[in-house]
Amino acid sequence: MPHSIQPPLQQLLEAVQASAKYRHIDAEFIRSLGAGELEKRRSLKEAIKATKNKLHQVGAAYQDNTPRYARWLEALQSASQAGDPAHLQATCREIMSHHASTRERLPFLPCFYSAILADIAPVHSVLDIACGLNPLAIPWMPLAPGARYYACDIYQDMIDFLNASFPLLRVDGEAMVCDVIQQCPAHKVDVAFVLKTIPVLEQVDKNAGRRLLQSIQADHLVVSFPAASLGGRHGGKGKNMEANYESHFNELIAGQPWSIQRFSYATELVFVIHR
């Protein structure tokens, strides 16, 4: 079909995918954002621009423009073959420094999972929602031998990399491309991670956080929000941010008979929900 007589949504998809920055993002997710923007905007050009802006806000802003997945996989392969846990952890840390969310967690990573999962460990199955590079933190997690690790995000190249990485991290893992606003993975697990993700999803659909918490099939959920400590680099602003997200979290769980644990780190406020 000549370009001009293609439906506008197809033209929008092709225009967005022509940009290297968005090429690996799930086409269904681009369509769903694009369809909303075509309804709201006056022209195809404006809808394309608005779709790209949203994709930047919810995904591209967090990661390097050109992630070096092939190089990272080689580094992981040689670290895994060397059989030295410290070398493997150093390699994982280096890779995690290329995604803003995991990079911020690196200073407190050694105590993060051991503290928040202390009452649940050893964990037999995990679902990591909108995972980014967080599965590279597996060497710090108190997982049971043979644990299953499911993970999802909107980037196909990231998901391919994670699927190749799981055997090197010695875990039975499966990563999938998924827009969790449209559909949450239905796996039944011990623990689901929803780390620093609710505010991102709510930029697209203000009810996405509440729906997600209801539909995840997990006995325990680890839900976190970006924050900053009192003396942290965001000063008073960070304190406000933490208070705002805490009250938002309380609204999201209002009326639920769940018990909650709270943990606060320099850049992350964490709630563990026991159902």
Ligand X SMILES: C[S@@+](CC[C@H](N)C(=O)[O-])C[C@H]1O[C@@H](n2cnc3c(N)ncnc32)[C@H](O)[C@@H]1O
Residue from the set 147, 195, 213, 272 that interacts with ligand X by CB under 6 A: 195
Q: Is the dihedral of CA 87, 91, 97, 99 positive or negative?
A: negative
Q: Is 200 in the site for ligand X (CB under 6 A)?
A: yes
Q: Based on CB atoms, which residue is closest to ligand X, 76 or 194? A: 194
Structure tokens at 121: 């460990």
Q: Is 130 in the site for ligand X (CB under 6 A)?
A: yes
Can you tell me the distance from the alpha carbon of 42 to that of 32, in angstroms, rounded to the nearest whole number? 18
**Least distance (Å) from ligand X to the CB of residue 210?**
15
Residue from the set 30, 58, 147, 198 that interacts with ligand X by CB under 6 A: 58
Which one of 70-78, 128-136, 142-150, 230-238 is the stretch in contact with ligand X (CB under 6 A)? 128-136
Q: Is 135 in the site for ligand X (CB under 6 A)?
A: no
Q: Is 239 exposed, middle or buried (0-12, 13-18, 19+ CB in 10 A)?
A: middle
Structure tokens at 74: 């080689």
Q: Is 267 in the site for ligand X (CB under 6 A)?
A: no
**Least distance (Å) from ligand X to the CB of residue 111?**
16
Residue 121 DSSP one-character state: P
Torsion of CA 200, 206, 208, 210, to 10 degrees: 110
Question: Footprint of ligand X on this chain (CB under 6 A)?
Answer: 29, 58-59, 62, 101-102, 130-132, 134, 152-155, 178-181, 195-197, 200-201
